Amino acid sequence: MSGIRGQPHNNWGKQGWELVQVVPGPEGGLVGYFKRPTGGGAANAGLDAAAVAAQQFGE
Q: What is the per-residue DSSP string for 12-49?
A: HHHTT-EEEEEEE-BTBSEEEEEE---SSGGGGTTHHH
C-alpha to C-alpha distance for 29 and 23, rounded to whole angstroms: 9
pLDDT in tens, 17-37: 888 889 998 888 888 888 887
Where residue 4 falls among pLDDT bands split at 50, 70, 90? low
pTM comes to 0.49
